[in-house]
Amino acid sequence: MHGGAGGFTLVELLVTISVAAMVMAIAAPAMQALVATNKIATEANRVVAGFNYARTEAVRRNQPVYVCSANLNVNTKVISGCLDQQVSNLYDWGFGQLIYADNLTTGTMGSYDSGEAIKTFSYYGEMNNGAKLNLVMSASPVATVKQIAFGSDGRLLDGNSRKLVLQDSTNNLCRVILIAGSGRSKACDTANDNSCGACS
């Protein structure tokens, strides 16, 4: 005697689809939060990498190396000098970093002149308007500045620490990037590490 053909009944299929839909409804927000957390962590690490690179170059070249907020043409993704733009009296660093070594014989000292760039970093968050990440130089611990300068000893030229705040307001996430007077940079997740200071 042969058994009937195997398969799902309509009721079984509907139950399976309902269970799958419930699992997806539960998992989707958690997955979205994980993606957002990974994204802001990646952006913060890129910011720190830029400062670390500038510090290394200052020591290697035995001369000051400057980092400024990049003036980025969003359409062509070309960086053309330093950006002098403020958001609520704080300088906007959101498009990227321009790292340059001053030509000591030409141009303006301590200011970017064409041809002095040694590296640029552009940030993904500002290139994707659907998930913009806001990066500004904080007023604390030191008042806002347009650029940061590393000396040949790897320290900040003026010895004063600087702080940048990276925020994803859509997902209520924040990272604080601290550049100490010693020149060392690090990023902190303010949810579990306040060693870089508050997210403000």
pLDDT in tens, the chain (200 residues): 455 556 678 777 777 787 777 777 776 666 777 888 888 888 889 889 999 999 999 999 998 999 988 887 655 566 678 877 777 767 778 778 888 887 777 767 777 777 777 887 776 544 444 445 678 887 777 766 788 999 999 999 989 999 988 888 888 888 999 999 999 999 998 888 888 888 87
Q: Give the model's pLDDT for residue 129.
A: 40
Which of 88-119 are b and which e, b meaning 16 or more Cβ less than 10 Å from the residue's Cβ? Answer: eebbbbbbbbbbbbbeeeeeeeeebeeebbee
Q: Give the model's pLDDT for residue 151.
A: 94
The model carries a pTM of: 0.77
Q: Give the model's pLDDT for residue 147.
A: 87
| The token pair that represents 64 in the structure block | 């000051």
Q: Give the model's pLDDT for residue 130.
A: 40
The residues, ordered by sequence, that sit 6+ positions from 93 with a Cβ below 8 Å of its Cβ are 47, 69, 135, 136, 137, 164
Q: Which secondary-structure segment (H or E) carries 58?
A: helix 10-61
What CATH architecture applies to the domain 12-189? 3-Layer(bab) Sandwich (3.55)
Domain ranges of the chain: 12-189
Q: Give the model's pLDDT for residue 112.
A: 77
Our CA angle for 123, 126, 132, nearest 5°, is 125
